[in-house]
Amino acid sequence: MFATPFLDLPPLDSASGTVVLPGSKSISNRVLLLAALSGGTTRVHDLLDSDDTKVMLAALATLGCGIRHNHVNGNTVEIDGLAGQLTASQADLFMGNAGTAIRPLTAALAVLGGDFSLHGVPRMHERPIGDLVDALRQLGCQIDYTGQDGYPPLRIGQPQLKLDAPIRVRGDVSSQFLTALLMALPLVAQQDVVIDVVGELISKPYIEITLNLLARFGITVQRDGWARFTIPAGSRYQSPGDIHVEADASSASYFIALGAVATSTTGTFDSKIRIEGVGAASIQGDIRFVEAAEQMGAQVASGPNWLEISRGTWPLKAIDLDCNHIPDAAMTLAVMALYADGSTTLRNIASWRVKETDRIAAMATELRKLGATVNEGADYLRITPPATVYDWKAASIHTYDDHRVAMCFSLAAFNPAQLPVRIEDPKCVAKTFPDYFEALLALSHTATAHIPVLCIDGPTASGKGTVAAALAARLGYHFLDSGAMYRITALAALRAGLVISTTDEAAIATLAQTLPVRFVDGKVWLGDSDVSEAIRTEEAGMNASKVSALPAVRLALVALQHSFRRLPGLVADGRDMGTVIFPDAPLKVYLTATAAKRAERRYEQLISKGISTTLEDLRDDLEARDARDSSRVAAPLKPAQDALLLDNSDMSIETSVDQVLDWWQSKQPFGLK
Ligand code: DC
């Protein structure tokens, strides 16, 4: 997951490959609650691991459910159900911003009774729940608002249930209120329980998911159209034992769009996007996004649980569509509309205004930043793409703590103007798809020249390694510690019985060319051996220094170092990064400090490792090494002509990092923040 303040997506050219999607949020949280309410143990397979499911699992654990995680066979969670009997009669439950958790839990706890507080993040306290509370109060539930009327936080007490008359619930704000009642009322169905929907029910496909899952847990709801639902007397939850969560159809929408926008129709190779985990047999309404994408021009092939998408019509066709049946996935259409041949109108989307953020306003604001013309109404959005390639703008997309805003705007990185797109607060995708950007970047291709590289060169003990690693972490970029390449090469050479000198130069170079090196979770592997510590000794440094003076070895390591230049970008540390390896890097920094300061830093480092030394010796050493390094023939130590010099003698690491970041920001087209 990218936990950086922003993620800069370079301009992307094309995409191809296979993505395995995480489980559906809607299905995951429904299944968790149903498993908790049922008798017996339920093994939930392929459960989504996200913020919203964590919120639900934590609440269920607080309420007394036994929960066991099993990561061996995919993501499986075992839930010991409560058989409709809460073991905790009092609890304080934090619901984050998870609508799919707070609504059904409120209903279930309200009919079972106890003393429960439910609250969430500030945005949760702005999301309406009044229609559900009104419906529950009608049947005798005791619910108080402890903040603002109509919104969480809530306090739930003991009910005095009256189930004779039909329960009326509004269906035109959120279908989740009806879902909540449908999941709660089987707990108290000693007699037939009837629910009447007032107003036109929106998002019917989500009700179909609810009914489908209720059936899997032993509850058959009778339905008259979409206006009346009856839970038969004697209904009882029964665990199905095992249940699989299908992949999230809304998450699939980004990759369906990716196929429609970014697969190549030229060239000889077969360029398409394959999505696994969800397909034609899906029970999720958002799977009908496929039809909307096809209308816009996507070519789609499908099986029960897979989809394959490639570009069909190009540019895409503008559409005018009632999106009530695909409320979440339709946000993706709004970004596809940027690539259409005219104005696209998305209608009947009033529910967007009460989601994670006011999504109509958010989409309009951010699409305009990219250069689109957008008209927004109470329940519609009309998007006209930038008129020409010159009308596109590089934009920093604000994401409003809304995962779907972040995910759908990433598709703007395929813009024909080849401008980068900045996604602010990329970690907000954790709500449903923590590794979304990794998945997108793994499928995306771009010209190497478009992948940004930030080079940090400088003399030994200037702090460049620490600064470079910190910069990579702040930008979410890959990190190349080029010194490690020489350290590993030297180690590999010695292990192969070679002598580090010109005599064995050719042999060492051959070895360096096919070095079986892997960097995994902060560890360095050479073949099957973990060499993370072996390459960090003083002796390994000396050997690296010797091996790095051999021109053939330097040449042999070029390809390996180039291979680190991967999406979304690279921070490269080492003496010849800006001069030899990445001469086209948009920012090169030459970090330096006085010999006295560097000696002090090295002194502290060595003393903390328990190695005794003196400042004078270190300073003499450093000065001698500088002189040798600057005058040596192979890769002498010198700043690139276009490098910015940063003397950090009197700066902390943090200040140095901030300074380089400022320089980096000033080179981006988004403006300083
Ligand atoms: O940064 P370091 O101490 O890990 O580097 C080990 C040796 O490799 C050091 O003597 C400098 C040399 N080196 C090099 O010649 N070129 C680079 N790009 C990086 C390091």
**3-state SS track over 599-648:** HHHHHHHHHHCCCCCCHHHHHHHHHHHHHHHHHCCCCCCCCCCCCEEEEC
CB 177 within 8 A of CB 170: yes
| DSSP conformational letter for 578 | I
Residue spans of alpha helices (H) in 356-463: 359-369, 403-409, 436-443
The pTM of this model reads 0.86
CA angle 32, 35, 39 (to 5 degrees): 165
3-state secondary structure of 196: strand
**Would you say residue 267 has pLDDT above 70?**
no
User: Across all residues in the chain, what is the average pLDDT?
Assistant: 93
Tell me how far the alpha carbon of residue 573 lies from the centroid of ligand 1, in angstroms: 9
pLDDT tens-digit map of 571-580:
999 989 999 9
In the predicted structure, residue 406 carries a pLDDT above the cut 50: yes
For 25-244, CATH gives 3.65.10.10
Q: Are 437 and 567 in contact (CB under 8 A)?
A: no
Note if 328 is an active site residue: yes
Q: Classify domain 6-22+247-448 at the CATH superfamily level.
A: Enolpyruvate transferase domain (3.65.10.10)
Please give the distance, rounded to the nearest whole angstrom, from the Cα atom of residue 515 to the centre of ligand 1: 17
In this predicted model, what pLDDT tens digit does every residue of 66-95 receive, in sequence order?
999 987 666 789 999 999 888 889 999 999
With CA atoms as reference, report the closest residue to 255 among 44, 52, 435: 435
Q: Are 117 and 157 in contact (CB under 8 A)?
A: no
Mean pLDDT of 175-187: 95
- Report which protein residue has its CA nearest ligand 1's atom 4: 483
Q: How far is CA 371 from CA 12, 47, 261, 366, in A?
A: 18, 39, 18, 9
Atom of ligand 1 nearest to the CA of 545: 10
End-to-end C-alpha distance for the chain, whole angstroms: 23
Q: How far apart are CA 94 and CA 359, in angstroms?
A: 24
> How far is residue 140's CA from residue 127's CA, in Å, rounded to a whole number?
23
Question: What is the tally of helices (H) and strands (E) in the chain?
Answer: 21, 33
Residues with CB under 6 A from ligand 1: 482-484, 486-487, 541, 544-545, 548, 574-576, 635
CATH 3.40.50.450 for domain 451-477+568-673: no
Measured distance CA(592)–CA(457) in Å, rounded: 9
pLDDT tens, residue by residue, 601-625:
889 888 888 888 899 998 998 888 8
Quote the distance between the C-alpha of residue 672 and its chain's center.
Answer: 24
State residue 205's pLDDT score.
85
Q: Which atom of ligand 1 is nearest to the CA of 544?
A: 7
The protein residue whose alpha carbon is closest to atom 19 in ligand 1 is 483
Q: In ligand 1, which atom is closest to the CA atom of 465?
A: 1
User: Ligand 1 center to residue 483 CA distance, Å?
Assistant: 4
Domain ranges of the chain: 6-22+247-448, 25-244, 451-477+568-673, 485-513+529-565
Catalytic residue, chosen from 49, 131, 328, 573, is 328
CA of 177 to the centre of ligand 1 (A): 62
Rounding to the nearest 10 degrees, give the CA dihedral for residues 273, 275, 276, 277. 180
Q: How sure is the predictor about 627, in pLDDT bands with cuts at 50, 70 and 90?
A: confident
Closest atom of ligand 1 to CA, residue 487: 6
Residue with CA closest to ligand 1 atom 1: 483
- The count of other CB atoms within 10 Å of the CB of residue 616 is 10
Q: Do the two domains 6-22+247-448 and 25-244 of this chain adopt the same fold?
A: yes
Rounded to an integer, what distance in angstroms lies between the CA atom of residue 166 and that of residue 229?
9
**Res 245 pLDDT > 80:** yes
- Category of 75 on φ-ψ map: left (φ > 0), alpha (ψ -120 to 50) or beta: beta
- Do residues 273 and 17 make contact, with C-beta atoms less than 8 angstroms apart? yes
As beta bridge partners, residue 244 has 45
Task: State the distance from the centre of ligand 1 to the C-alpha of 459, rounded, in angstroms.
Answer: 9
Cα(163)–Cα(194) distance, integer angstroms: 8
- Under 8 Å CB-to-CB from 413, ≥6 apart: which residues? 9, 10, 11, 12, 420, 421, 444
Each residue of 495-542: pLDDT tens digit? 999 999 999 999 999 999 999 999 888 899 999 999 999 998 888 988
Give how far the C-alpha of residue 670 lies from the chain's centroid of Cα atoms, to the nearest Å: 22
* pLDDT tens digits, 121-167: 999 999 999 999 999 999 999 999 999 999 999 999 999 999 999 99
CA dist 131 and 581 (Å) reads: 63
